[in-house]
C-alpha cells in the first residue's frame, strides 16, 4: 500500500533527515543509552542532579568544542585552545594584581579588573591571529601551526607565572564572574554563558551565511573560491572566534579559582577535539554539527564519571576514554555508510 | 611475405569499450610491428585515451583481445602492463624529485633480503640504458635539479630498463621547448634502434610526420586506418582522415547580437598565454576552440580573476575583478573545467549548492531566508530540467549531466551577464548536451554574453557565433561561424599548421 504512495511524484518534502541530523541523533541516543547503562551499574547515578553535573562540570570543554568544531568543519585544526586558556587566565591575573606585591609573583600591573580582562582577551586573540597568519598567509598545515601556538601560549603563561601560580594581591572583583550563581540555583554564570554560546552557534551553523560558508569551504575549498568566497578572510575569522572563546574560558576559570596557573587547561585541546569527533564532526571537514559535539561531550562525561562511580582507579580512565572514542567513531562511520548505501 | 617482414609486437583484435550510453572504442583491430614509432591520431573524443587506458590496464575492455609479444595480454594494472612489456609515459611525470637519477631508475626494482638491499648488476644495467639514450644526464644528479625534459628522459630510461619493449607516450611534447623537443626525438629514435617500439600520441601533426613510421587514425571510437606514414599525402590528407565528413553543423545565426562590447581583453599574458586580445558583445556566444593545453582554460580563469596575469580586462568599461569574488560582484560567472573538484560541493544537496554565488539574494542580515533558498532551488530544478527526486538530494548522487546543470544553476543564480563556460558538456550524455546548448542559446537571446571554451569542434560550431582558434597560448585566428566554415582549415590551425599548408 505504502509503496504506491511512495512512488508517486509528490511535492518534495523534508521527510528525510539530513546526514548531520542523523548523526547528531545517533550520538544523542548513544549518550542517553550510556547514561542508562551507567545508572544500572553505579548506585545513585540515576539522578537529575547528576545529569546537571554532567553538563556543568564540562562547560569549559564544551565551550572550546564550539570553536574547534567550526574550524574542523572548515577543514582546519585548532590545537591551541588549551594553551590559550592558560595564557588568558594568567594574563588576567597578572594585569589585575596590584603593583606593590611582596615578591615577583604577587606583583602585577595593577589595571582595573575590566581593563585587565579586556587586555587578557586581546592576548588570546593575538594567538588566534597568529594561527590565521601562518595557516592562511603562509599555507602551513593547521595541525602544525596550532601545535606550535599551543606551546607558545602556554610558554608565555609559564614565564609570567615562573612555572607556578599567581594568586595573591588580587582585587575583590576578581573572583566574582567565575563564582556567580544565577537564578538562585547552583548553576554558575560560566555555564549560562556556555548555554548561550551553544544556542547562538547552532543558529549560526544552521541558518546564517557565516555558518554555511564554513561548510562550503570544508566541503570543497577550490569550488568555494571559484564561487566567490573569500576563504582567507573566513578562516581568519574562525581562528579569532575560537581563540576568543578560549580567552573567555581562561578568564572565567582564573576568576573561579582566583588564580592564574600555567598548567590550567592542560590537554583541554585534545578533549575538545575528541568530543567534536565523537559528535560526528568529520576530520576532513565539510560535515558535523555543534549539537553532535555537545552530545559527544556528554558521552565522554558519562564514561568518566561512571568510572569514578565504579571506584575504578583513575589510571584506567584514559583507556576507557579511548575505548569510547573508537567505538563511537566506528559506529558512526558504519551507520552513515549503511544509510547512504 | 619475405624474411624482412617485421614481427608484430602488439595487436588488438575487435577491442571495444562501452560506457553507459556511449561506445568509446568500437571494434578496433590493428597491429604494430617491432621497432617502429607508431603514431596514434584522432580528434578529442576519438577514443585514443580510452584505447591507451585499455593497453595500460587502467580500463578493462568490454570485448576484444590484445596480444603483446606473441602472448595473450590481459593487464589489470599498470604494473601488470609493464610486466607484459608495455610502459607508459604520462603527461604528469612520476619521478621522485628528492632522489638521484640512479635511485629513480632503480626505484621499485631493487632486490632485497630481510629488508636490506642486495647488490646486483641492476645499477650497471640502468646506467648503461641511460647512457645509450641520453649520455648527457649524470646518474648521480638529484632529479630536482633537472629540467622537465630531462626528467621525462629519466622516466623513459626507467621504462626502457624495466624490460618494456613498448613505450606509450601521451603528448610528451606538451610542456617542452623546441630545442627540448628535438632532443626528445633523438632519444625516441635511439630507442627505436634499440628494438623498442614507441606508440606516440600527439595533436601536433608536424611532429607526427617528422618522427613517425606508421600511423593509426581513429574517429568517433572507430578504427579508420593503419598505414605507413609515407602513404599519407601530407597534413591535408591526415586531417581529412581524422575528421571524415562527419562534423554536423547545426548552427543557425540568431541575428540578435548587440553592438555593445561587454568585455574587452587586451594583451593577456601568462606563463602559457601570449598576447591574447579579443572582445565579447552583448547577446553573443563566442567560442574558444583549441586542443588540450592550447590555453583555453587559462583565458577563462584570467577573465574570472582566478589566476594572475599581465594585460588588461575591461568589463562594462571598468577594470575586471582581481579575484573571483570581485568578478562575480561585477557580473561574471564561471562554470569551471572540472565540475566535481571545482564547481560543486558534492557532499551537499542541490538546495545548498544553488545559492552560493549570490548570497545577498536569499539572505537578510546574514540569515538565510529558508523559503527563498528552497524556492530558488526548486525554480532551477524545473527551469533546467534537473532530473532529481528532490532538492534535498546530494549532488554526488546525480548523473554527470545533472551535476553540470547544478553548476550552471549556481552561475545563473548569480545573475551574471557574462558567463564563462569551460568545457560545459564534458562527460555529459547526449540528451543533457542538447538541453545545455538550448539553455546557452536562451541566455544569449536574453542579452547575456556567453563564452564557451571547448575542445569539441562540433560543440563550438554548433552554438557559437564567433570562434577564436587557439594554439600554444595564442589566438591564431578569429572566424565567423556560418555554413561555409572550412573545417579542414580549422583543424590545420589548431594543430599548429601555417596558413599556406592548408591550401
A287 shares contact with chain B (CB less than 8 Å)? yes
A305, part of any domain:
yes
ipTM: 0.85
Is A208 in Cβ contact with B367 (below 8 Å)?
yes
Nearest chain A alpha carbon to B307: A226
pLDDT for the residue B497: 76
CATH of B261-502, one of 3.40.190.10, 3.90.700.10, 3.30.1330.90, 3.40.50.300: 3.40.50.300
pLDDT for the residue A16: 60
Is A18 in Cβ contact with B347 (below 8 Å)?
no
CATH 3.40.50.300 maps onto chain B at 8-93+150-243, 261-502
CA distances from B316 to A32, B269, B319, B320, B358 (A): 61, 21, 8, 9, 20
pLDDT for the residue B167: 93
pLDDT for the residue B249: 60
Nearest to B343 among A208, A223, A229 (CB): A223
- Grid cell locating A295: 552530545
pLDDT for the residue A70: 97
State the CATH number of the domain containing residue A233: 1.10.3470
A220 shares contact with chain B (CB less than 8 Å)? yes
pLDDT for the residue B433: 84
pLDDT digits (tens, 9 = 90+) for A7-60: 334 444 444 677 888 889 989 999 999 899 999 988 888 888 889 999 999 999
Is B410 in Cβ contact with A227 (below 8 Å)?
yes
Is B356 in Cβ contact with A216 (below 8 Å)?
yes
**Mean pLDDT in each 10-residue stretch from start to end of chain B (503 residues)?**
61 88 85 92 81 89 90 86 86 83 81 70 83 85 86 86 86 79 89 91 86 91 91 83 67 76 94 92 93 88 94 94 95 93 92 94 93 95 90 88 93 94 84 88 92 89 93 91 84 75 41
Is B391 in Cβ contact with A223 (below 8 Å)?
no
Query: Exposed, middle or buried by CB within 10 Å (0-12, 13-18, 19+), for B308?
Result: exposed
pLDDT for the residue A11: 42
Dist. CA B184–CA B174, nearest whole Å: 12
pLDDT digits (tens, 9 = 90+) for B456-499: 888 899 899 999 999 889 999 999 988 888 888 888 888 887 65
pLDDT for the residue A189: 93
A11, part of any domain:
no
A225 shares contact with chain B (CB less than 8 Å)? yes
According to CATH, what is the number of the domain B8-93+150-243? 3.40.50.300
Nearest chain B alpha carbon to A230: B325
Q: What is the DSSP letter of B306?
A: S
CA distances from A69 to A65, A202, A271, A291, A322 (A): 6, 11, 12, 10, 20
Interface contacts (A, B; CB < 8 Å): 81
pLDDT for the residue B255: 67
Domains identified in chain A, total number: 1
A9, part of any domain:
no
Nearest chain B alpha carbon to A17: B392
B138 CB-near residues (< 8 Å, 6+ apart): B101
pLDDT digits (tens, 9 = 90+) for B436-463: 999 999 999 998 999 999 988 888 998 9
Nearest to A207 among B329, B343, B368 (CB): B368
pLDDT for the residue A10: 40
pLDDT for the residue B126: 85
Q: Among B294, B337, B291, B213, which Cα is nearest to B42's?
A: B291
pLDDT digits (tens, 9 = 90+) for A318-328: 888 888 888 87
Is B359 in Cβ contact with A223 (below 8 Å)?
no
pLDDT digits (tens, 9 = 90+) for A124-166: 999 999 999 999 999 999 999 999 999 999 999 999 999 889 9
A16 shares contact with chain B (CB less than 8 Å)? yes
Q: What is the mean pLDDT of residues A65-74?
A: 97
* Domain containing residue A102: 19-35+45-339
Is A220 in Cβ contact with B346 (below 8 Å)?
yes
Is A226 in Cβ contact with B334 (below 8 Å)?
yes
Nearest to B368 among A208, A224, A225 (CB): A208
pLDDT digits (tens, 9 = 90+) for A158-209: 999 998 899 988 998 899 998 898 877 778 999 999 999 999 999 999 999 9
Amino acid at each position: 500500500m505504502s509503496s504506491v504512495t511512495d512512488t508517486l511524484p509528490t511535492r518534495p518534502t523534508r521527510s528525510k533527515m539530513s546526514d548531520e541530523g542523523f548523526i547528531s541523533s545517533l550520538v544523542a541516543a548513544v549518550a542517553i543509552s550510556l547514561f542508562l547503562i551507567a545508572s544500572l551499574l553505579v548506585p545513585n547515578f540515576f539522578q537529575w542532579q547528576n545529569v546537571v553535573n554532567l553538563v556543568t562540570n564540562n562547560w569549559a570543554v564544551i565551550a572550546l568544542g564550539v570553536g574547534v568544531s567550526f574550524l574542523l568543519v572548515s577543514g582546519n585544526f585548532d590545537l591551541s585552545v588549551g594553551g590559550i586558556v592558560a595564557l588568558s587566565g594568567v594574563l588576567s591575573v597578572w594585569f589585575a594584581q596590584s603593583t606593590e606585591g611582596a615578591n615577583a609573583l604577587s606583583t602585577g600591573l595593577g589595571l582595573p579588573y575590566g581593563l585587565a580582562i579586556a587586555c587578557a582577551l586581546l592576548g588570546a586573540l593575538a594567538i588566534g591571529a597568529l594561527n590565521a597568519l601562518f595557516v592562511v598567509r603562509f599555507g602551513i598545515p593547521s595541525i602544525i601551526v596550532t601545535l606550535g601556538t599551543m606551546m607558545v601560549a602556554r610558554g608565555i603563561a609559564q614565564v609570567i607565572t615562573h612555572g607556578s601560580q599567581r594568586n595573591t594581591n588580587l582585587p575583590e572583583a576578581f573572583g566574582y564572574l567565575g563564582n556567580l550563581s544565577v537564578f538562585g540555583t547552583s548553576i554558575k554564570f560560566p555555564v549560562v554563558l556556555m548555554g548561550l554560546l551553544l544556542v547562538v552557534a547552532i543558529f549560526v551553523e544552521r541558518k546564517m551565511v557565516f555558518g554555511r560558508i564554513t561548510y562550503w569551504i570544508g566541503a570543497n575549498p577550490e569550488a568555494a573560491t571559484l564561487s566567490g568566497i573569500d576563504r582567507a578572510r573566513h578562516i581568519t575569522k574562525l581562528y579569532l572566534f575560537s581563540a576568543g572563546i578560549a580567552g573567555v574560558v581562561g578568564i572565567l576559570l582564573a576568576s573561579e579559582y582566583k588564580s592564574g596557573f600555567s598548567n590550567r587547561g592542560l590537554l583541554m585541546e585534545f578533549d575538545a577535539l575528541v568530543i567534536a569527533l565523537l559528535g560526528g564532526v568529520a576530520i576532513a571537514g565539510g560535515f558535523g554539527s555543534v549539537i553532535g559535539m555537545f552530545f559527544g561531550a556528554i558521552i565522554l562525561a558519562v564514561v568518566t564519571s561512571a568510572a569514578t562511580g565504579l571506584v575504578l582507579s583513575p589510571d584506567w580512565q584514559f583507556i576507557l576514554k579511548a575505548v569510547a572514542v573508537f567505538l563511537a567513531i566506528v559506529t558512526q562511520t558504519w551507520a552513515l555508510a549503511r544509510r547512504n548505501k | 611475405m619475405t624474411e624482412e617482414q617485421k614481427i608484430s609486437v602488439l595487436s588488438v583484435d575487435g577491442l571495444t569499450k562501452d560506457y553507459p550510453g556511449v561506445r568509446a572504442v568500437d571494434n578496433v583491430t590493428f597491429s604494430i610491428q617491432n621497432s617502429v614509432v607508431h603514431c596514434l591520431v584522432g580528434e578529442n573524443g576519438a577514443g585514443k585515451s580510452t584505447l591507451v587506458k585499455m593497453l595500460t590496464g587502467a580500463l578493462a575492455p568490454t570485448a576484444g583481445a590484445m596480444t603483446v609479444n606473441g602472448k595473450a595480454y590481459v593487464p589489470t594494472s599498470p604494473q601488470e602492463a609493464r610486466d607484459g612489456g608495455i610502459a607508459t609515459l604520462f603527461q604528469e611525470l612520476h619521478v621522485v624529485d628528492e632522489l638521484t637519477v640512479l635511485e629513480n631508475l632503480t626505484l621499485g626494482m631493487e632486490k632485497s633480503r630481510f629488508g636490506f638491499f642486495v647488490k646486483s648488476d641492476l645499477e650497471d644495467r640502468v646506467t648503461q640504458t641511460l647512457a645509450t639514450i641520453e649520455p648527457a644526464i649524470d646518474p648521480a644528479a638529484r632529479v630536482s635539479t633537472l629540467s622537465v625534459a630531462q626528467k621525462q628522459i629519466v622516466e623513459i630510461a626507467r621504462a626502457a630498463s624495466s624490460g618494456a619493449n613498448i613505450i606509450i607516450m601521451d603528448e610528451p611534447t606538451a610542456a617542452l621547448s623546441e630545442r627540448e623537443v628535438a632532443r626528445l626525438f633523438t632519444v625516441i629514435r635511439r630507442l627505436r634502434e634499440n628494438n623498442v617500439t614507441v606508440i606516440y600520441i600527439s595533436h601536433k601533426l608536424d611532429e607526427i610526420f617528422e618522427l613517425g613510421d606508421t600511423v593509426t587514425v581513429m574517429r568517433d571510437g572507430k578504427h579508420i586506418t593503419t598505414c605507413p606514414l609515407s602513404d599519407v599525402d601530407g597534413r591535408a590528407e591526415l586531417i581529412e582522415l581524422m575528421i571524415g565528413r562527419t562534423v554536423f553543423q547545426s548552427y543557425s545565426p540568431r541575428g540578435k547580437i548587440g553592438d555593445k562590447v561587454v568585455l574587452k581583453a587586451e594583451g593577456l599574458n601568462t606563463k602559457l598565454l601570449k598576447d591574447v586580445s579579443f572582445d565579447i558583445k552583448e547577446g553573443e556566444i563566442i567560442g574558444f576552440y583549441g586542443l588540450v593545453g592550447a590555453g583555453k582554460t587559462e583565458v577563462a580563469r584570467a577573465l574570472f580573476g582566478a589566476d594572475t596575469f599581465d594585460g588588461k580586462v575591461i568589463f562594462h568599461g571598468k577594470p575586471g575583478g582581481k579575484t573571483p569574488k570581485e568578478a562575480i560582484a561585477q557580473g561574471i560567472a564561471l562554470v569551471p573545467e572540472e565540475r566535481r573538484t571545482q564547481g560543486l560541493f558534492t557532499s551537499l544537496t542541490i538546495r545548498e549548492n544553488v545559492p552560493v554565488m549570490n548570497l545577498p539574494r536569499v539572505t537578510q542580515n546574514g540569515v538565510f531566508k529558508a523559503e527563498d533558498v528552497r524556492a530558488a532551488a526548486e525554480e532551477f530544478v524545473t527551469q533546467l530540467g534537473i532530473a532529481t527526486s528532490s532538492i534535498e538530494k546530494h549532488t554526488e548522487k546525480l548523473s554527470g549531466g545533472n551535476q553540470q546543470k547544478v553548476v550552471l544553476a549556481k552561475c545563473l543564480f548569480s545573475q551574471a551577464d557574462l558567463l564563462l563556460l569551460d568545457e560545459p558538456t564534458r562527460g555529459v550524455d547526449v540528451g543533457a548536451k542538447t538541453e545545455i546548448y538550448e539553455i546557452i542559446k536562451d541566455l544569449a537571446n536574453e542579452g547575456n554574453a556567453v563564452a564557451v571554451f571547448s575542445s569539441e569542434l562540433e560543440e563550438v560550431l554548433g552554438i557559437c557565433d564567433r570562434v577564436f582558434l587557439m594554439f600554444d597560448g595564442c589566438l591564431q585566428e578569429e572566424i565567423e561561424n556560418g555554413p561555409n566554415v572550412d573545417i579542414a582549415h580549422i583543424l590545420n590551425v589548431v594543430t599548429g599548421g601555417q596558413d599556406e599548408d592548408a591550401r
